[in-house]
Amino acid sequence: MKMRRICGLLLAVASTPTLLGAEESVLTRLENYDAPRYPADTAITREAYDARMPRVDRVPATLTDTFVCDLVTTMVRTLDLRGVSIGGLREDHVRRALQVYLQREWTKVPGYRPWTHWNFVNGLTDRDREQLVREVASYTRAKRVACPE
């Protein structure tokens, strides 16, 4: 009986997607991403997300939702895109928003967590960023994201 349990456990572990070489979700990495220390040479000592965190009603529900909200803010404020719907972001809009993170200094990127998200996006490979585009678009179609003001 014990041997059967052990074999079943080994089979279950061996068949998990990460061990079989399936792509790891780039978007889920964000939930555990540890950004470099916030710059001490700025007038602001922490990100807006951290300042608002004591009042959880003033921040998105998850760190992934926070990233999505920051992308939408970038689409609307920086890129001046019209007709952006958080209920199903288009891949080309997500791609353009990510380019803002690559082309601007973090202080010129709007949002709750510009320092963290700027470092995250700039630390990805081109392949990972393209996967992130697809994952964000899919995530917004599947989940209702709320962006508190």
Count the domains in the chain. 1
How many Å apart are CA 121 and CA 102, to the nearest integer? 7
Residue keyed to tokens 């061996």? 14
Q: Are 47 and 70 in contact (CB under 8 A)?
A: no
Domain range for 99 = 24-142
Interior angle at CA 58, CA 99 and CA 76, nearest 5: 30
Of the chain, the percentage scoring pLDDT greater than 70 comes to: 83
Domain assignment present for 99: yes
Domain assignment present for 98: yes
pLDDT at res. 56: 64
How many Å apart are CA 27 and CA 22, to the nearest integer? 15
Instruction: Render pLDDT for 61-75 as a digit per residue (tens, 0 to 9).
Output: 999 999 999 999 999
DSSP secondary structure string for all residues of 20-41: TTPPPPHHHHGGG--PPPPPTT
Domain assignment present for 72: yes
52 pLDDT more than 90: no
13 pLDDT more than 60: no
Instruction: Render pLDDT for 54-109 as a digit per residue (tens, 0 to 9).
Output: 776 788 999 999 999 999 999 999 999 988 888 889 999 999 999 999 999 999 99
Domain assignment present for 6: no
Whole-number Cα distances in Å, 17 to 27, 32, 112, 124: 16, 19, 32, 21
The answer for residues whose C-beta is within 8 angstroms of residue 17's C-beta and 6 or more apart is none
